[in-house]
Amino acid sequence: MLLATSVRSNFVFDDDPFQPVTQDETVAVGGVVTLTCNVKENDNSSLQWSNTAQQTLYFGEKRALRDNRIQLVKSTGTELIITISDVQLSDDGEYTCSIFTMPVRTARATVTVLGVPGKPVITGFEDAIQEGGKVTLTCTSSGSKPPAKLHWYRDQEEIQGRPDVVESNPDEPTYTVTSELTLTVTRNDNNALIACAVDHPSIANGDKRTERPISVLFSPSVSIQPESDLPREGEKFFLQCVGNGNPEPTAFVWRRKDGELPPMAKVDDAFLHFESLNKSDNGIYECQADNGIGMGDVTHTLLVQEAGVNAADPTVMSTPLGVDHAVIGGVVAVIVFIMLCLLIVLGRYLIRHKGTYLTHEAKGSDDAPDADTAIINAEGGHSGMDDKKEYFI
């Protein structure tokens, strides 16, 4: 990666037209840097570039140092341009442009060489982690100058790690940077990409990035998938137990909540097969899956339809026949109960208002001690014809 940036001009043209003008440069290791020296006027004196050790690189058009990395770009009476390719950390420092007038005039240009950081290395989760556990990951990048910055990502989302730790590398002016990240993992973290990226002016964003998937062990979540949404009498049918876990479940147990499994039902690992469905197969079935980390279970209600049910009729498909019979029976029971209540009320009403017929012709004869007295009392009852009353209801 080549990176060369003009930073500033050490001098500007002033009243002295013979004063050289240069500018600072920044370049990454392995790149190419261009050194430019200008003067406003020249009195036939030559321009010269010297390195950090004050060794002459070029004097006008003449190469002074045998270094094939250094090449002449342009040489005139007022300008001298050279390049240095395959820049190394040792090329970092101040370079001098001189013009041999009386007196000699000089200008300095600082070349800053950036140490390119190495690709980050992630360690800490070579083995799978159990759900709910904690893991500490370490990211390391070496060779940067100035020190690089490290960033953590989960998939595309940046997450915060601990502050970077910077250490100087022995025998060279570069640094090793280390960052740690501690995670409490869930099943949602399984197969997530944990990435560490380097941020440094010598590289473009994303050029130095390392990704690793994280493996989380967790117990299975279970579901039951029926072969058909409308199982019918006489047909073959199966229920499949599907477990999602890490690792995948390998052991399955089938049960029937309200009794033993039907005689015609056959367990085949994750499958429960029915050779010929019958109404007696109706019930709640449970599957339990085990993957060695934990177990998960789920239930499924099986309602077998009659063989004559038309699958294309949505009204038939929407409600099981057993439910229809129950509803009809409930309605009939309510009607019978209401009719009984009406009969009871009507009977009590008729009894309370029962019709009577009463005459008073023999009123008082019931209390007579003998027959003669009863006749006399009865005859006395004829004395007042107006007292005779009849009641009809």
Most confident of 5-14, 118-127, 198-207, 244-253: 244-253
By mean pLDDT, which of 40-44, 87-91, 292-296 is the weakest? Answer: 40-44
End-to-end CA distance of the chain: 121
Please classify residue 191 by burial: count the beta carbons closer than 10 Å to its beta carbon, then call 0-12 exposed, 13-18 middle and 19+ buried: exposed
What are 345's two structure tokens? 């009320």
Report d(CA 95, CA 112) in Å as an integer: 11
50 in the same domain as 126: no
Are 102 and 137 found together in one domain?
no
Q: How many domains does the chain have?
A: 3
CATH number of the structural domain spanning residue 92: 2.60.40.10
272 vs 90: CA distance, rounded Å:
75
The whole-number average pLDDT for the span 53-64 is 94
Domain boundary among 73, 88, 114: 114
Instruction: For residue 42, give Cα distances in angstroms to 48, 64, 65.
Output: 13, 22, 25
Q: In the predicted model, is pLDDT for residue 128 greater than 70?
A: yes
pLDDT value of position 372? 54
Residue 77 is encoded by which pair of tokens? 């009476």
Same-domain status, 25 and 97: yes
Positive or negative, the CA dihedral 351, 357, 360, 361 is: negative
Closest CA to 81 of 57, 100, 106: 57
Confidence of residue 358 (pLDDT cuts 50, 70, 90): very low
**Has residue 11 been placed in a domain?**
no
Residue 131 in any domain: the answer is: yes
Q: Annotate 37-60 with b (16+ C-beta within 10 A) or e (fewer).
A: bbbeebeebbbbbbbeeeeebbbe
Same domain, 178 and 248: no
Answer with the one of 185, 214, 243 that is the final residue of a domain: 214
Nearest alpha carbon to residue 69 among 93, 89, 86: 86
Distance in angstroms (rounded) separating the CA atoms of residues 198 and 211: 12
Does the pLDDT of residue 262 top 80, yes or no? yes
- The token pair at 23 is 């500018």
Label residue 325 by pLDDT band (50, 70, 90). Answer: low
- Retrieve residue 284's tokens: 């709640």
Q: What are phi and psi of 264, to 5 degrees?
A: -90, 0
Place of tokens 């270094």: 67
Phi-psi region of 355 (alpha: psi -120 to 50; beta: other; left: phi over 0): beta
Judgement on whether residues 204 and 260 belong to the same structural domain of the protein: no
Mean per-residue pLDDT over the chain, rounded: 84
Percentage of residues in the chain having pLDDT higher than 70: 81
Task: Check whether residue 244 and residue 280 sit in a common domain.
Answer: yes
φ, ψ at 357 (rounded to 5°):
-130, 120
Exposed (0-12), middle (13-18) or buried (19+): which is 152, by Cβ within 10 Å?
Answer: buried
pTM attached to this predicted model: 0.65
pLDDT of residue 6: 33
Structural domain containing residue 256: 219-302
| CB-based contacts of 334, cutoff 8 Å, min separation 6 | none
- Report the 10 Å Cβ neighbour count for 298: 16
Kindly state the DSSP code that residue 118 receives in the 8-state scheme: P
Residue 338 lies in a domain: no
Domain membership of residue 375 (yes or no) is no
CB 220 within 8 A of CB 243: yes
The reply to whether 393 falls in a domain is no
Q: What residues form DSSP beta bridges with 31?
A: none
Structural domain ending residue among the three candidates 114, 130, 150: 114
Q: What is the dihedral of CA 114, 119, 123, 129, to 10 degrees?
A: 130
329 assigned to some structural domain:
no
In this predicted structure, what is the pLDDT of residue 308?
65
> What gap in Å lies between CA 27 and CA 373, rounded to an integer?
152
Lookup result for tokens 């039951």? 224
Using the Cα atoms of residue 367, residue 369, residue 370 and residue 376 in order, give the sign of their dihedral. Answer: negative
In a domain, 333, yes or no: no
Q: Are the C-beta atoms of residues 231 and 307 closer than 8 Å to each other?
A: no
Residue 268 in any domain: the answer is yes
